[in-house]
């Protein structure tokens, strides 16, 4: 144990050095992200000081862009498990080599989720009220307390797995399976739980018929398994190109297979939901009517949802073209369309229409304000910073370029990989 | 200790408003008896339209009632009940109750007519409105009017926030 | 690159970044100066001792006087033994004049610019109770032909979804049935607003503005004291009045006597007479919220 008290600080110091070393391109990228993040920080500071009147939200539509992004990104975090499952459950060797990319994506995503919840709070200065043991934690009744637990739990599990693996490589030791395998398997179950709980946040509300559907949690999981793999497929190509690592066609093939199924299941579930809403009709169909066709002359979401449907259908078609199996360009296009399609469908297409019409059936529309867009962009930028730094840290280490025995003689090992 | 309800007895049961104002700007009221004791009593007309001098312009839309259904010739402070008895003008609620029994029962149980003051009779009385506070006995239908405090909350009349 | 130069550049970059970060956060520092440490550390209402509470009430009074220029009295009014409140509204006589909403606006120190009120009056199509046909933003003489009016405020549900969802127990049901909010504990997540089926909750999107001469100085901690920015508020059946035996402001203001209020546990109360003698109904009964607010028609 004593050895760790010396080697761990050294490990952290090396990590800091490594994460801040890179090429000009790396510095430009990080500088841009920092700039966007700072714009977000400033907008948030104004929002706290002046109040949430700076947002487009109202007492009618009391959640907007922040919670929409939160919901989507919980899915992104959960979707990363689509790398863990093949790697550990089905012993996919190639996936195993890059599974840490998924775990890092999960970490970055959860951090973004926590930030999105924070910026949605009217009184972030009272954050300690929601801390178990210190504040008054309404567990197990409030689904939001479950969300706090599962999200932070998922963050810790992934931090542990990733941190442990990197640290062991740093020490030049073989990781002890007892120290990480149980956590990997736990993370698989946990990934499903984070998105299930997030769906339960909404589906448990009897007063919101648009959300009050048993299909919501399955839909969330399926769309998470679109967003996650779609993002990772593109990310893996970027990583191998920018970090000069060998390509991982096997992993990408596996993820594409998952994607080809989930895009179809997602469309099927959307169709089932719409059938149930509209076949019977009546007032319960009001939100759906507003969303798809407009209601009482108001149609602010119609463009969004049809764009989402078009993107989802088009991506499903593209991903099923035989050419998408040989052309990364086509595959990437399909992934991008699917990613954006799900982002809209879950945000402006699901969170917002849950509030329109209001519980007293007033149709008050919602348009995100400039401050909301700034803050949202800032959080995305910060998430990408976390992911970039994480990848820089993880990849050279996992390639075995950096370990305790090599630190001294090989001081600049990290800078080879940007 | 229990406070009994206090039922309002509006001034209009014993006086009429004049166009003149007092020092505080309140209309000066003149007791009914001021005029009615000075002039000889005329027979009660059949309908409001027959009023040529005083009370002219009185609108009457209260079923098929006539003046004598309620008023007593020569007794401005009295009302005539259906069974021939007369009661004090101040007890007008009893007169109304002859026909509007359901409303009276609801009134007695706080379910008609509204109130102010205390729900808890051990702490204070209910201050009850009189029938004629809200209903003009000659045109009793409640008038209505322009509503107040139109909602102006965020987003109500446009697409979003700022 | 020379490693030494690289380190220097990194330190420089980090310093610049930290400086920019602090600069970006400047509005928060300014806002923070107005917040007191006592308020930041204040415990949940139900954990406060009598002495704590006394101190907090005086602090809030001083703060209100400083910020709104009016001397007010803020009390802590507890529920009475043997009392559970109920409210009924006669839809046959309501004319939609919104006097109740206005009385609420004044009594409860609502923000003036938004005409905020805990009561929303819907103009409904005669012959239908479908809220889909309602409109709260009417602006013509009332009652209008072919319409009836449905005022909606907090239904003080016995099984309140808003209470269940609150992650920090900032809102709860008191022994007399009133659902209250500790405005100094609420974190402003607005989950309760999403959960409430009756649009009964309001969020303070900004600091409420009320001219000094319009502030109602008779205030209570759990009800009508001026709410802070960024927290949720709701109707409390005017508990600062009703827990002292008085009638709620909206009832007193009603020109048609449509509103009936009282103690559900007292068999001789007005509200019990209505429940036993009128055919009452509750809004959205199918949701299982068990409101303490009832509606009825005459006859």
**Domain residue spans in chain B?**
6-134
- C85-296 belongs to which CATH class? alpha beta
Q: Measure the CA–CA gap between A220 and A192, rounded to whole angstroms.
A: 10
More confident residue, A20 or C196: C196
Mean pLDDT of C79-93: 97
Residue B143: predicted pLDDT: 85
DSSP collapsed to 3 states, chain A: CHHHHHHHHHHHHHHHHHHHCCCHHHHHHHHHHHHHHHHHHHHHHHHHHHCHHHCCCCCCCCCCHHHHHHHHHHHHHHHCHHHHHHHHHCCCHHHHHHHHHHHHHHHHHHHHHHHHHHHHCCCHHHHHHHCCCCCCCCCCCCHHHHHHHHHHHHHHHHHHHHHHHHHHHHHCCCCCHHHHHHHHHHHHHHHHHHHHHHHHHHHCCCCCCCCCCCCHHHHHHHHHHHHHHHHHHHHHHHHHHHCCCCCCHHHHHHHHHHHHHHHHHHHHHHHHHHHHHHHHCCHHHHHHHHHHHCECCECCCHHHHHHHHHHHHHHHHHHHCHHHHCCHHHHHHHHHHHHHHHHHHHHHHHHCHHHCCCCCCCCCCCCCCHHHHHHHHHHHHHHHHHHHHHHHHHHHHHCCCCCCCCCCCCCCHHHHCC
Domain ranges within chain C, ordered by starting residue: 85-296
| CB contacts, 8 Å: A124 with chain C | 187
CB-CB under 8 Å, B161 with A57: yes
Q: Give the minimum alpha-carbon distance from A377 to chain B in angstroms, rounded to a whole number.
A: 18
CB-CB under 8 Å, C117 with B149: yes
Give the rounded percent of residues in chain C with a pLDDT score beyond 70.
Answer: 99
User: Is some CB atom of chain C closer than 8 A to the CB atom of B162?
Assistant: no
Give the confidence band of A403 by pLDDT, cuts at 50, 70, 90: low
Give the confidence band of A60 by pLDDT, cuts at 50, 70, 90: very high
User: Is some CB atom of chain B closer than 8 A to the CB atom of C252?
Assistant: yes
Whole-angstrom CA distances from B5 to B84, B110, B116, B129, B130 are: 29, 10, 10, 10, 12
Query: Does residue A78 carry a pLDDT above 80?
Result: yes
Contact C96, C254 (CB under 8 A): no
User: Is some CB atom of chain B closer than 8 A to the CB atom of C242?
Assistant: yes
Residue A208: predicted pLDDT: 96
Q: Give the minimum alpha-carbon distance from C115 to chain A in angstroms, rounded to a whole number.
A: 13
**Residues C152-168: pLDDT tens digits?**
999 999 999 999 999 99
Query: Does residue A411 carry a pLDDT above 50?
Result: no
Contact A40, A382 (CB under 8 A): yes
Mean pLDDT of B30-56: 83
What's the order of all strands across the beta sheet hosting C280-281? C259-263, C85-90, C293-296, C280-281
Interface mutation target, options A58, A300, A371, chain B, most CBs of B under 10 Å? A58
Q: Would you tell me the crossing angle of helices A216-242 and A65-79 to the nearest 10 degrees?
A: 70
Whole-angstrom CA distances from C183 to A121, A122, B62, C154 are: 14, 12, 52, 17
Q: Which of A53, A121, A141 sits opposite C189 (nearest CB)?
A: A121
Pairing type for strands C120-125 and C218-220 reads unpaired
Q: Which of A364, A370, A371 sits opposite B155 (nearest CB)?
A: A364
**Residues C103-128: pLDDT tens digits?**
999 999 999 999 999 999 999 999 99
Q: From A287, which residue of chain C is nearest by alpha-carbon distance?
A: C132
Instruction: For residue A286, report the phi and psi dihedrals to the nearest 5 degrees.
Output: -60, -45
User: Is some CB atom of chain C closer than 8 A to the CB atom of A53?
Assistant: yes
Q: Which of residues 273-302 of A touch C (CB under 8 A)?
A: 283, 286
Query: Does residue A410 carry a pLDDT above 70?
Result: no
Domain assignment present for residue A77? The answer is yes
Query: Does residue A347 carry a pLDDT above 80?
Result: yes
Contact A61, A366 (CB under 8 A): yes
The domain that holds A153 is classified in CATH as: 1.20.1630
CB-CB under 8 Å, B118 with C137: no
C177 by Cβ neighbours in 10 Å (0-12 / 13-18 / 19+) ranks as: buried
Chains in touch with C (3+ beta-carbon pairs under 8 Å) read A, B
A149 by Cβ neighbours in 10 Å (0-12 / 13-18 / 19+) ranks as: middle
Instruction: For residue B86, report the phi and psi dihedrals to the nearest 5 degrees.
Output: -115, 150
Q: From B107, which residue of chain C is nearest by alpha-carbon distance?
A: C257
CB-CB under 8 Å, C105 with B114: no
Residue B86: predicted pLDDT: 95
DSSP state of B130: P
Domain assignment present for residue A329? The answer is no
Residue B44: predicted pLDDT: 84
Query: Does residue A169 carry a pLDDT above 90?
Result: no
Mean pLDDT of A244-269: 94
Q: Measure the CA–CA gap between A238 and A247, rounded to whole angstroms.
A: 10
DSSP state of B8: -
Residue B133: predicted pLDDT: 94
- In 3D space, the residue among C159, C148, C128, C171 whose CA is nearest the CA of residue C286 turns out to be C159
Chains in touch with A (3+ beta-carbon pairs under 8 Å) read B, C
Contact B10, B130 (CB under 8 A): yes
Place of tokens 């999200």: A151
Q: Measure the CA–CA gap between C263 and C274, rounded to whole angstroms.
A: 12
Give the confidence band of B159 by pLDDT, cuts at 50, 70, 90: very low
Mean pLDDT of C83-107: 97
Contacts of A64 (CB under 8 A, 6+ apart): A55, A56, A57, A351, A352, A366, A368, A372
Extract the tokens encoding A403: 């370990």
Query: Does residue C1 carry a pLDDT above 90?
Result: no
CB-CB under 8 Å, A300 with B161: no
Q: Is the dihedral of CA C272, C278, C283, C288 positive or negative?
A: positive
User: Is some CB atom of chain C closer than 8 A to the CB atom of A50?
Assistant: yes
CB-CB under 8 Å, B119 with C263: yes
Q: Measure the CA–CA gap between A277 and A291, rounded to whole angstroms.
A: 12
DSSP state of B73: T
CB-CB under 8 Å, A283 with C167: no
Residue A384: predicted pLDDT: 98
CB-CB under 8 Å, A366 with B162: no
Query: Does residue A416 carry a pLDDT above 60?
Result: no
Contact C60, C201 (CB under 8 A): no
Q: Which of residues 157-216 of C touch B (CB under 8 A)?
A: 205
Residues of chain B contacting A, Cβ within 8 Å: 153-156, 159-162
User: Is some CB atom of chain B closer than 8 A to the CB atom of A300?
Assistant: yes
**Residues A364-390: pLDDT tens digits?**
999 999 999 999 999 999 999 999 999
Q: Which of A62, A136, A207 sits opposite C161 (nearest CB)?
A: A207
Query: Does residue C22 carry a pLDDT above 70?
Result: yes
| Bridge partner residues of C124 (DSSP) | C148
Residue A404: predicted pLDDT: 53
Chains in touch with B (3+ beta-carbon pairs under 8 Å) read A, C
Q: Is the dihedral of CA A55, A56, A61, A67 positive or negative?
A: negative
Residue A102: predicted pLDDT: 94
Q: Measure the CA–CA gap between A96 and C186, rounded to whole angstroms.
A: 45
Q: Measure the CA–CA gap between A294 and A288, rounded to whole angstroms.
A: 9
CB-CB under 8 Å, C198 with A52: no
Extract the tokens encoding A416: 């080879």
Query: Does residue A409 carry a pLDDT above 50?
Result: no
Pairing type for strands C280-281 and C73-75 reads unpaired
User: Is some CB atom of chain A closer than 8 A to the CB atom of C217?
Assistant: no
User: Is some CB atom of chain C closer than 8 A to the CB atom of B118?
Assistant: yes
Give the confidence band of A398 by pLDDT, cuts at 50, 70, 90: low
If one counts every other C-beta atom within 10 angstroms of the C-beta of residue A206, the result is 16
Domain count, chain A: 1
Instruction: For residue B87, report the phi and psi dihedrals to the nearest 5 degrees.
Output: -130, 165
Extract the tokens encoding A362: 């007033």
Query: Does residue A408 carry a pLDDT above 60?
Result: no
C77 by Cβ neighbours in 10 Å (0-12 / 13-18 / 19+) ranks as: middle
Instruction: For residue C153, report the phi and psi dihedrals to the nearest 5 degrees.
Output: -140, -170
Average pLDDT of the residues of chain C: 96
C55 by Cβ neighbours in 10 Å (0-12 / 13-18 / 19+) ranks as: middle
DSSP state of B136: B
CB-CB under 8 Å, A60 with C3: no
Q: Measure the CA–CA gap between C196 and C153, rounded to whole angstroms.
A: 11
Q: Measure the CA–CA gap between C83 and A364, rounded to whole angstroms.
A: 38
Pairing type for strands C293-296 and C280-281 reads antiparallel
**Helix spans in B40-100 (H):** 92-97
Query: Does residue B161 carry a pLDDT above 50?
Result: no
- In 3D space, the residue among B80, B76, B86, B92 whose CA is nearest the CA of residue B30 turns out to be B76
- Which domain covers residue A96, as residue numbers? 18-258+369-404
Residue C230: predicted pLDDT: 97
Contacts of C153 (CB under 8 A, 6+ apart): C104, C118, C119, C120, C198, C200, C235, C250, C293
Average pLDDT of the residues of chain A: 92
User: Residue B101 in 3-state DSSP?
Assistant: helix
Residue A405: predicted pLDDT: 52
CB-CB under 8 Å, B154 with A53: yes
More confident residue, A408 or A224: A224
Q: Which of C95, C244, C247 sits opposite B142 (nearest CB)?
A: C95
- In 3D space, the residue among C17, C84, C53 whose CA is nearest the CA of residue C184 turns out to be C53
C76 by Cβ neighbours in 10 Å (0-12 / 13-18 / 19+) ranks as: middle
Contact C293, C156 (CB under 8 A): yes
| CB contacts, 8 Å: B155 with chain A | 56, 58, 60-61, 364-366
Query: Does residue A414 carry a pLDDT above 60?
Result: no
CB-CB under 8 Å, C95 with B144: yes
- In 3D space, the residue among A107, A69, A89 whose CA is nearest the CA of residue A258 turns out to be A89
């Amino acid at each position: 144990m004593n050895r760790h008290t010396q080697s761990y600080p050294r490990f952290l110091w090396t990590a800091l050095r490594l994460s801040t070393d890179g090429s000009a391109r790396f510095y430009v990228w990080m500088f841009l992200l920092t700039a966007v993040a700072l714009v977000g920080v400033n907008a948030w500071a104004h929002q706290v000081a002046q109040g949430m009147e700076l947002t487009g939200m109202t007492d009618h539509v009391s959640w907007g862009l922040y919670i929409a992004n939160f919901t989507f990104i919980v899915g992104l975090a959960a979707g990363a498990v689509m790398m863990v499952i093949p790697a550990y459950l089905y012993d996919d060797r190639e996936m195993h080599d890059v599974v840490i990319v998924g775990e890092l994506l999960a970490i970055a995503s959860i951090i973004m989720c926590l930030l999105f919840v924070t910026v949605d709070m009217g009184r972030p200065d009272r954050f300690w009220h929601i801390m178990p043991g210190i504040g008054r934690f309404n567990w197990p009744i409030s689904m939001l307390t479950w969300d706090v637990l599962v999200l932070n739990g998922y963050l810790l599990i992934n931090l542990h797995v990733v941190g442990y693996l990197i640290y062991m490589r740093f020490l030049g030791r073989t990781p002890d399976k007892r120290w990480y395998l149980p956590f990997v398997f736990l993370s698989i179950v946990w990934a499903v739980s984070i998105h299930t709980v997030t769906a339960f946040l909404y589906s448990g509300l009897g007063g919101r018929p648009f959300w009050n559907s048993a299909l919501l949690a399955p839909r969330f999981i399926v769309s998470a398994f679109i967003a996650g793999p779609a993002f990772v497929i593109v990310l893996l190509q970027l990583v191998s190109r920018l970090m000069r690592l060998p390509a991982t066609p096997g992993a990408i093939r596996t993820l594409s297979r998952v994607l080809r199924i989930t895009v179809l299941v997602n469309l099927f579930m959307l169709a089932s939901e719409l059938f149930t809403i509209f076949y019977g009709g009546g007032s319960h169909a009001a939100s759906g009517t507003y969303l798809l066709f407009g209601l009482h002359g108001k149609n602010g979401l119609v463009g969004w949802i049809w764009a989402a449907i078009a993107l989802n259908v088009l991506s499903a078609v593209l991903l099923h073209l035989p050419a998408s199996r040989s052309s990364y360009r086509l595959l990437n296009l399909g992934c991008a369309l699917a990613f954006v399609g799900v982002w809209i469908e879950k945000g402006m297409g699901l969170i917002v229409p849950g509030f329109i019409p209001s519980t007293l059936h007033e149709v008050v529309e919602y348009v995100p304000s400039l401050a909301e867009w700034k803050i949202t962009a800032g959080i995305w930028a910060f998430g990408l910073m976390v992911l970039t730094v994480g990848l820089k840290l993880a990849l050279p280490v996992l390639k075995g370029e950096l370990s305790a025995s090599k630190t001294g003689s090989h001081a600049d090992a990290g800078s080879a990989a940007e | 200790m229990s406070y009994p309800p206090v039922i309002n007895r509006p001034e209009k049961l014993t006086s009429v408003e004049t166009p003149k104002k007092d020092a505080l700007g309140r209309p000066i009221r003149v007791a009914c008896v001021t005029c009615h004791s000075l002039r000889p009593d005329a027979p009660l007309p059949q309908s409001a339209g027959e009023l040529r001098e005083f009370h002219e312009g009185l609108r009457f839309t209260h079923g098929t009632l006539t003046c004598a259904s309620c008023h007593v010739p020569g007794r401005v402070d009295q009302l005539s009940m259906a069974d021939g008895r007369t009661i004090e003008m101040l007890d007008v609620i009893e007169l109304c109750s002859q026909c509007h029994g359901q409303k009276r029962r609801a009134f007695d149980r706080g379910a008609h007519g509204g109130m102010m003051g205390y729900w808890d009779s051990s702490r204070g009385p209910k201050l009850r409105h009189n029938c004629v506070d809200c209903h003009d006995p000659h045109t009793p239908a409640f008038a209505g009017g322009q509503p107040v405090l139109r909602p102006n909350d965020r987003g109500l009349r446009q697409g979003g926030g700022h | 690159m020379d490693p030494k130069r690289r380190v220097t550049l990194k330190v420089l970059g980090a310093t610049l970044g930290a400086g920019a970060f602090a600069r970006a956060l400047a509005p928060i520092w300014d806002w923070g100066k107005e917040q007191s440490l006592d308020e930041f550390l204040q415990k949940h209402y139900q954990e406060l001792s009598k002495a704590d509470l006394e101190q907090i009430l005086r602090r809030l009074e001083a703060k209100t006087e400083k910020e709104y220029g009016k001397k007010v009295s803020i009390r802590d009014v507890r529920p009475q033994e043997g009392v559970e409140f109920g409210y009924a509204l006669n839809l046959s006589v309501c004319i939609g004049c919104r006097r109740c909403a206005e009385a609420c606006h004044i009594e409860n120190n609502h923000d003036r610019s938004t005409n905020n009120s805990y009561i929303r009056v819907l103009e409904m199509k005669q012959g239908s109770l479908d809220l889909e046909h309602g409109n709260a933003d009417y602006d013509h003489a009332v009652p209008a032909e072919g319409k009836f009016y449905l005022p909606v405020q907090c239904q003080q549900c016995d099984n309140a979804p808003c209470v269940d969802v609150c992650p920090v127990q900032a809102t709860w049901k008191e022994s007399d049935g009133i659902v209250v909010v500790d405005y100094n504990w609420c974190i402003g997540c607005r989950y309760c607003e999403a959960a409430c089926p009756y649009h009964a909750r309001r969020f303070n999107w900004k600091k409420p503005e009320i001219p000094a001469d319009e502030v109602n100085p008779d205030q209570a901690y759990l009800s009508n004291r001026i709410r802070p920015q960024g927290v949720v508020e709701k109707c409390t059946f005017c508990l600062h009045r009703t827990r002292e035996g008085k009638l709620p402001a909206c009832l007193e203001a009603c020109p048609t006597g449509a509103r009936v209020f009282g103690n559900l546990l007292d068999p001789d109360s007005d509200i019990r007479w209505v429940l036993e003698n009128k055919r009452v109904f509750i809004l959205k009964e199918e949701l299982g919220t068990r409101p303490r607010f009832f509606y009825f028609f005459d006859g």
